[in-house]
């Protein structure tokens, strides 16, 4: 049996974080990127993280944020993992000396193997949909056949996943984990607890059959 992990990203309310945990999600994501409709303030994030039970990984998402600003977030919030979703170089990601994952936006013609190899310090890579000028959260899926069968890092699959298509995505890509935001929302930034539950159930179901 191969366990596929699940992360519910774009949490803006404690009740949504608790719903994700109750559904069985392994991680929640907090967006520290002001242009995003799912962005949280330090105060919001503090309240969410403080209210979570143990053994849930908290992930902070950053997009080309200056190191001093990231350090201010880390001083206020005990995040477990950093997710870099912009054009951060390997040196940028390593500079904070925290466990991190690097998001890569996939499009036809990209050398995904080389892109992944460029971040040897990453704990994993998150593969998302490429939309010009948009760092993520597009709600659009990409062609999963573009994901190489063997990569040097664990793969977290993102981009347009929903309770209805995540099983097919896992069966094709066989990722370490999947990441969802818009696909389980009632509105931008507000999660639908039933959709979250259906998503995690679908992830666990296909993982058990692999």
Catalytic residue from among 87, 128, 192, 198: 128
Note if 198 is an active site residue.
Answer: no
Say which residues have a Cβ less than 8 Å from residue 201's Cβ, sequence separation at least 6: 23, 24, 163
Note if 9 is an active site residue.
Answer: yes
- What's the token pair of residue 106? 């996939």
Q: Coil, strand, or helix at residue 5?
A: strand
Say how far apart CA 19 and CA 35 lie, in whole Å: 25
- What's the token pair of residue 88? 């951060």
Catalytic residue from among 9, 92, 93, 179: 9
Q: How far is CA 51 from CA 20, 56, 109, 119, 201, in A?
A: 13, 11, 44, 33, 23
Active site residues: 9, 128
């Amino acid at each position: 049996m191969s366990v596929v992990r699940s992360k519910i990203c774009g949490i803006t309310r404690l009740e949504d974080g608790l719903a994700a945990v109750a559904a069985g999600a392994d991680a929640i994501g907090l967006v520290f990127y002001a242009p995003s409709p799912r962005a949280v303030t330090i105060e919001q994030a503090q309240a969410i993280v403080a209210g979570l039970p143990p053994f849930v990984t908290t992930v902070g998402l950053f997009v080309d944020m200056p190191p001093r600003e990231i350090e201010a977030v880390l001083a206020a919030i005990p995040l477990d993992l950093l997710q870099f979703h912009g054009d951060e170089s390997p040196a940028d990601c390593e500079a904070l000396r925290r466990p991190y994952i690097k998001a890569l936006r996939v499009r036809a013609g990209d050398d995904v193997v080389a892109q992944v190899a460029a971040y040897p310090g990453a704990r994993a890579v998150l593969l998302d949909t490429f939309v010009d000028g948009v760092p993520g959260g597009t709600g659009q899926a990409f062609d999963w056949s573009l994901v190489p069968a063997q990569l040097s890092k664990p793969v977290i699959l993102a981009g347009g996943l929903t309770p209805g298509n995540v099983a097919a995505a896992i069966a094709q890509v066989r990722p370490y984990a999947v990441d969802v935001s818009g696909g389980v929302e009632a509105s931008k930034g507000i999660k639908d607890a039933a959709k979250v539950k259906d998503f995690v159930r679908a992830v666990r179901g296909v993982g058990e059959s692999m």
